[in-house]
A and B are shown apart, each in its own frame.
Chain A
Amino acid sequence: MAKKTEEKIEDNQEFEDFRVGDAIYRTKISQMHKDRKPYKVPNPRELLAFIPGTIIEINVKKGDQVKKGEIMMLLEAMKMKNHVKAPFDGIVKNIYVKVGQIVSKNYKMIELK
């Protein structure tokens, strides 16, 4: 067993500089660490799919005025029809999905202004 890890982390990779706090260490960087996604500050005007699912109804169109709490779309996921509500009073700036479209988690569905 041990042999395989050594093959993996010693033969296939170069040492790199890696900063932890105030010091720089010579070490190997794991793939998991390299693959991590950078943090993005969430934009409250963009509504992202909070669960993967299918858009089954869209009640608004571009330019519509919406009131806080108004149901703008239905996102069906896990046998539930989830309400996509307006988080504040605003105007629909853009809609990025169509009825019947399957969306993955965090897919941008609608933008308000």
Chain B
Amino acid sequence: MSLRSKTSDLRKRMSEAIKGGGDKAIEKQVSMGKMTARERIIELLDSKSFFEYDLFVEHAAKDFDMDKKKLAGDGVIIGTGTINGHPVCIYAQDFTVAGGSLGYMHARKITKIMDHAMKLKVPIIGINDSGGARIQEGVNSLAGYGEIFYRNTLASGVIPQISVILGPCAGGAVYSPALTDFVFMVDKISKMFITGPEVIKSVLGEEISMEALGGARVHAEKTGNAHFYAESEKECFNQIKELFTYVPWNNTKKADSFPTKPPKTKSFKISKIFPADPTEPYDVRNIVRSISDDSNFFEVQNLWAANIVIGFTRLNGDTVGIVANQPLVLAGVLDVDSSDKAARFIRYCDAFNIPLLTLVDLPGYLPGIDQEHAGVIRHGAKLLYAYSEATVPKITLIMRKAYGGGYIAMCSNHLKADFVFAWPTAEIAVMGPTGAANIIFRKEIAQADDPDAVRQQKIDEYKEKYANPYIAAAYGYIDSVIELNETRKFILHALEISQSKEVVLPARKHGVPPF
């Protein structure tokens, strides 16, 4: 054979393989409003940056007449490319090939590209669109999942791992996304569950649609399994590209720096956003915007446990992780879900060298039987653990209420915040004035001729004396009480001088956090 015929043979083989499951299957995929696996990769990566490997991999299954079937690329595409000019490894399951089912060679392709990502120290992105295990391959498909989960676990905190759910992701398959850093889902396209509606119906007789059981909205709002919710695949890819402007390429690097810009103080002026009355609501995200570069804020898990806000912003051009109580929702209380949400984000930032800025304004932990029985003790402890363990620069701003356990948990001086600032409106005390006065002056109130008047007087006295930042400042628990319009200045300086912060934790294999 001549070089030319060998080349044309290669081209023929490639064009066959690239067709995936064929025109009919592609048509079906498109009719569901979905892009094909290859289109998705091309849309997500920088233009012309994608290089594919293992295109000619074939499955090795013999049982159930599988040896007579040819599955293009065994239902998954792997390769490398760039996003915002930085290298990434990527795989995308191809639903048009045997429903994107995961067999042994399919899994081998995924683990191969994951191993590459770990060696090259670059992020791994997985696009999930699969009916699940390839039943014909039996225990080998289970082995495949297990090998993926093991690599997800070892890669955790070393390279960023992104899961994009763009189709079904059911049964064991859901655990790979759950082990990764960020899960992206798209309305009406993404579905994630351990047992699907059919199993639930046959076992329980309960009927539920896939969307209501494990659609994007459910996971973004109710379960917290999804970090980002989008209404289209394109919007989802834009979210991923934006996320990658905030995170470093691996745990030995820092995220990209951008030119610094002042906040848009015309739209976001602290004194206009912030009410001094501790019972009045405001949107804490606007406080973030009032101090961040160009008033930018990229929120994570914005729909779930909205009583705490987490996300990325830039200060002086560099990424900072934000954790902020949200007085707009449930008065900003801590509870099971908000503790989980914040704790994991803190650990993410700590793993990837992202300094933490904590904005504090909370009445405390949410009282209730449901919370206690849901294990708020264990969940709340995650927050203490995550903050204590984090060695990145930690800066805390106490805006208004910081009572009791909530004060300690929100990156207090005692959990080794590097700098704790407080506004003059801050109230730092062991508990709220009414509760404290009722306990401390119980006898005097009970013995008074007019208990209500005495109670009110004692509450007012307590408020006057203790509901302020100066007692805590007198002990040095607050480093500076600052004016509202000085906030950005103080935080920028604190970040700047913390750049070479180094803390050595005691030697250990790993801690035992209250998972």
Q: Does B297 contact A (CB under 8 A)?
A: yes
Total number of B residues with any Cβ neighbor in A under 8 Å: 45
Q: Does B487 contact A (CB under 8 A)?
A: no
Interface of A is mostly: mixed
How many angstroms from the CA of A9 to the CA of B306 in the assembled complex?
9
Q: How far is the CB of B291 from chain A (nearest CB, A)?
A: 15
Interface 9-residue window, one of B15-23, B275-283, B415-423: B275-283
How many angstroms from the CA of A6 to the CA of B303 in the assembled complex?
9
How many angstroms from the CA of A25 to the CA of B434 in the assembled complex?
14
Q: Does A102 contact B (CB under 8 A)?
A: yes
Q: Does B366 contact A (CB under 8 A)?
A: yes
Q: Which residues of B contact A6 (CB under 8 A)?
A: 283, 285
With A25-B279, A30-B330 already in contact, the answer to whether A5 and B370 are too (CB < 8 A) is: no
With A52-B203, A102-B204 already in contact, the answer to whether A28 and B432 are too (CB < 8 A) is: no
Q: Which residues of A contact B239 (CB under 8 A)?
A: 1
Q: Does B299 contact A (CB under 8 A)?
A: yes
Q: Which residues of B contact A36 (CB under 8 A)?
A: 368, 370
Q: How far is the CB of A97 from chain B (nearest CB, A)?
A: 13
Partner of A22, one of B331, B333, B438: B438
User: By the criterion CB–CB under 8 Å, are A20 and B364 in contact?
Assistant: yes
Q: Does B206 contact A (CB under 8 A)?
A: yes
Q: Does B228 contact A (CB under 8 A)?
A: yes
Partner of A1, one of B298, B307, B434: B298
Q: Does A68 contact B (CB under 8 A)?
A: no
Q: Does B352 contact A (CB under 8 A)?
A: no
User: By the criterion CB–CB under 8 Å, are B302 and A22 in contact?
Assistant: no
Q: How far is the CB of B244 from chain A (nearest CB, A)?
A: 14
User: By the criterion CB–CB under 8 Å, are A20 and B228 in contact?
Assistant: no
Q: Which residues of A contact B297 (CB under 8 A)?
A: 2
User: By the criterion CB–CB under 8 Å, are B281 and A26 in contact?
Assistant: yes
Q: Which residues of B contact A20 (CB under 8 A)?
A: 331, 333, 363-364, 366-367
User: By the criterion CB–CB under 8 Å, are B435 and A27 in contact?
Assistant: no
Q: Does B205 contact A (CB under 8 A)?
A: yes
As a 0/1 sequence over residues 55 to 90 of chain A, the CB contacts with chain B under 8 angstroms (1 = contact) are: 000000000000000000000010000000000000
User: By the criterion CB–CB under 8 Å, are B302 and A23 in contact?
Assistant: no
How many angstroms from the CA of A28 to the CA of B279 in the assembled complex?
12
User: By the criterion CB–CB under 8 Å, are B330 and A27 in contact?
Assistant: yes
As a 0/1 sequence over residues 22 to 57 of chain A, the CB contacts with chain B under 8 angstroms (1 = contact) are: 111111111111001101000000000000110000
Total number of A residues with any Cβ neighbor in B under 8 Å: 32
How many angstroms from the CA of A32 to the CA of B239 in the assembled complex?
26
Interface residues of B in 20-56 (CB under 8 A from A): none
Residue of B nearest to A35 (CB): B222
Q: Does B328 contact A (CB under 8 A)?
A: yes
How many angstroms from the CA of A104 to the CA of B345 in the assembled complex?
35
How many angstroms from the CA of A49 to the CA of B175 in the assembled complex?
28
Q: Which residues of A contact B204 (CB under 8 A)?
A: 52, 102, 104
Q: Which residues of A contact B221 (CB under 8 A)?
A: 31
User: By the criterion CB–CB under 8 Å, are A30 and B329 in contact?
Assistant: yes
Partner of B281, one of A1, A25, A32: A25
As a 0/1 sequence over residues 326 to 359 of chain B, the CB contacts with chain A under 8 angstroms (1 = contact) are: 0111111100010000000000000000000000
User: By the criterion CB–CB under 8 Å, are B328 and A23 in contact?
Assistant: no
User: By the criterion CB–CB under 8 Å, are A9 and B329 in contact?
Assistant: yes
Q: Does B229 contact A (CB under 8 A)?
A: yes
User: By the criterion CB–CB under 8 Å, are B432 and A22 in contact?
Assistant: yes
Interface residues of A in 5-27 (CB under 8 A from B): 5-6, 8-10, 15, 18, 20-27
How many angstroms from the CA of A4 to the CA of B353 in the assembled complex?
29
With A20-B333, A21-B435, A39-B370 already in contact, the answer to whether A4 and B281 are too (CB < 8 A) is: no
How many angstroms from the CA of A28 to the CA of B373 in the assembled complex?
24
Partner of A18, one of B278, B330, B364: B330
Q: Does B497 contact A (CB under 8 A)?
A: no
User: By the criterion CB–CB under 8 Å, are A9 and B370 in contact?
Assistant: no
Q: Does B431 contact A (CB under 8 A)?
A: yes
Q: Which residues of B contact A104 (CB under 8 A)?
A: 204, 206
How many angstroms from the CA of A39 to the CA of B372 in the assembled complex?
11
How many angstroms from the CA of A37 to the CA of B370 in the assembled complex?
8
How many angstroms from the CA of A16 to the CA of B333 in the assembled complex?
15
Q: Does B507 contact A (CB under 8 A)?
A: no
Q: Which residues of B contact A28 (CB under 8 A)?
A: 281, 328-330
Residue of A nearest to B205 (CB): A102
Q: Does B369 contact A (CB under 8 A)?
A: yes
Q: How far is the CB of B406 from chain A (nearest CB, A)?
A: 10
Residue of A nearest to B228 (CB): A1
How many angstroms from the CA of A24 to the CA of B221 in the assembled complex?
26
User: By the criterion CB–CB under 8 Å, are A23 and B222 in contact?
Assistant: no
Interface residues of B in 299-326 (CB under 8 A from A): 299, 302-303, 306-307, 311
As a 0/1 sequence over residues 356 to 383 of chain B, the CB contacts with chain A under 8 angstroms (1 = contact) are: 0000000110111110010000000000
User: By the criterion CB–CB under 8 Å, are B331 and A18 in contact?
Assistant: yes
User: By the criterion CB–CB under 8 Å, are A4 and B229 in contact?
Assistant: yes
Partner of A21, one of B281, B306, B332, B432: B432
Q: How far is the CB of B272 from chain A (nearest CB, A)?
A: 16
How many angstroms from the CA of A104 to the CA of B307 in the assembled complex?
32
Q: Which residues of A contact B330 (CB under 8 A)?
A: 18, 27-30, 33
Residue contacts A-B, CB under 8 angstroms, 8 given:
A2-B299, A10-B328, A23-B278, A23-B363, A31-B221, A33-B330, A39-B373, A53-B203
8 additional contacts (CB under 8 A) given A23-B278, A27-B281, A52-B204: A2-B299, A22-B432, A23-B434, A25-B331, A33-B330, A37-B370, A52-B203, A104-B206
The 9 A-B residue pairs with the shortest CB-CB distance, nearest first, are: A22-B434, A25-B331, A20-B363, A5-B302, A39-B369, A27-B331, A102-B205, A22-B435, A2-B299
